[in-house]
Structure 1
Amino acid sequence: MFLTRFRLNTARHGSRRLLSSPQAMHAAVMSSFPGVLPTTAPAADAPRTLWRLDERARAEVILYLVSPDRPDLTHLVEQAGWPAVATPDDPGWQTRPYQPFLDRLTAGQHWAFRLTANPVHTIRRKEGEPRKLTAHLTHRHQMGWLLDEERQKRAGFRIAEKPAGRRTLPGGTTHKGHPHHGDRYELSLNDTRSLSFSKSRPGGGNRSRVTLVTATFEGRLEITDPDLLRRTLTHGIGRARAYGCGLLTLAPAPKPARQEAR
């Protein structure tokens, strides 16, 4: 497994085209692996190529990749990077082995995390109708999607709770008694987007329209099952993984500030 980081040059037309369409970005990402044909589908239980765009500022957009094979991003550098300053030692992207990091994960560790996901659920509008996949649209329901206990258990982690002294509201609840997810847990929802883009049909013909909602979460988690978490990190979480969703990344968790002695 490999973890790759590539900064897009947002002043270039190629970058703007990729950023406007998850379908185009997906195609560019998959073109980074010469041994993978466009029609090749990953085995059901095999690690897959995951990607995510982090927009830290208007001119700083980072593409992250987690992949079973080492990628070659030469075409992305030429289209959306800084090809004139690329060198053999610094080709314009950074790739490092991911497995040593995965092997160091153990139960009880705390990590900061970032995740862009596609929070959805199924509903039935009328009795007898088939259930329909529908996006969560409100802040509370999107937070609740990630805080679902069964989802966290399957993923191998637990979202950390804030100490009682750091909660704005008593018990982390609203005045109506409903869960106030953003106050009780070390979790924030930083960005929600509704995306709509064209997708090519197999064999050509008319293009279909894809619409999805994404939510970007940041917070702190505790590892409950290292093997399940390793699978989550290499297989993704949730739906729309081909379109930049599902990649969970970890970073060292900041140490909590010490409370002053009273």
Structure 2
Amino acid sequence: TLTTRPLDALLDALQPGRTLHYRCVASPVRKPGAETRRLYQLPPVVALSGTAADEWWLRQTQTAGLTPTTHHSTPLDTIRGQQPDKHGHRDHNRIRHARTRFDGTATITDPARLRHTILNGIGRAKAYGCGLLSITPAQDTA
């Protein structure tokens, strides 16, 4: 059974300074420039892992209107598949998306940016389930 719920109440409660818990399974990548690709013989898109993936995530949170207070990353299995060509043949283009799950707490700095990110996702591979930012308000400790 599939159930959907409106996000309006959650999105309307986004306020600067509010602390929340987050989770996002993302496909962190870097797109080197043409000269760098030629010099180091790199592909157009390079999957990131470890510290490089963490640094990618921290840049994404800033763009999303968040300042992380804690964060933990967990590498997940790579998504593999084949994209069909214009004739529907499945052996045309291999698809690979490295995935990392990011969990932690953050403070909201820009509610409008955060709202946009929740509604539109982060990074690549959204069609494969990556980039969905899930949040929940943190309990006040005061």
Q: TM-score, normalised by structure 1?
A: 0.48
- Aligned-pair distance for 1:187? 0.6
Alignment match, 2:106? 221
Amino acid of the residue matched to residue 140 of structure 1?
T
Alignment match, 2:72? 188
Amino acid of the residue matched to residue 107 of structure 2?
E
- Aligned-pair distance for 1:252? 2.6
Alignment match, 1:48? none
Amino acid of the residue matched to residue 105 of structure 1?
L
Which structure carries more strand by proportion? 2
Could you give the per-residue CA deviations for residues 137-171 of structure 1, whole angstroms, max 9, x where no partner exists? 3x2111111112xx3332111111xxxxxxxxxxx
Q: Which residue, 71, 88, 92 being the options, matches 1:204?
A: 88
Q: Which runs of 5+ in 2 are unaligned?
A: none
- Aligned-pair distance for 1:255? 5.2
Mark the CA change 1:241 to 1:152 in structure 2 (over 3 Å): closer, same or farther: same
The whole-number CA distance in structure 1 between the counterparts of 2:128 and 2:99 is 10
Say if 1:112 and 1:254, in contact at 8 Å, map to a contact too: no
Higher relative contact order (CA 8 A, sep 6+): 2
Say if 2:27 and 2:97, in contact at 8 Å, map to a contact too: yes
Equivalent residue pairs, number: 138
Amino acid of the residue matched to residue 195 of structure 1?
I
Which structure is larger by alpha-carbon Rg, 1 or 2? 1
Amino acid of the residue matched to residue 115 of structure 1?
C
Mark the CA change 1:128 to 1:245 in structure 2 (over 3 Å): closer, same or farther: closer
Mark the CA change 1:238 to 1:94 in structure 2 (over 3 Å): closer, same or farther: same
The whole-number CA distance in structure 2 between the counterparts of 1:130 and 1:218 is 30
Alignment match, 1:242? 127
Percent identical: 30
- Aligned-pair distance for 1:254? 4.6
Q: Does 1:144 align with 2:55?
A: yes
Q: Does 1:132 align with 2:17?
A: no
- Aligned-pair distance for 1:191? 3.5
Could you give the per-residue CA deviations for residues 106-130 of structure 1, whole angstroms, max 9, x where no partner exists? 1111000100001001232434989
SS at match of 2:87: coil
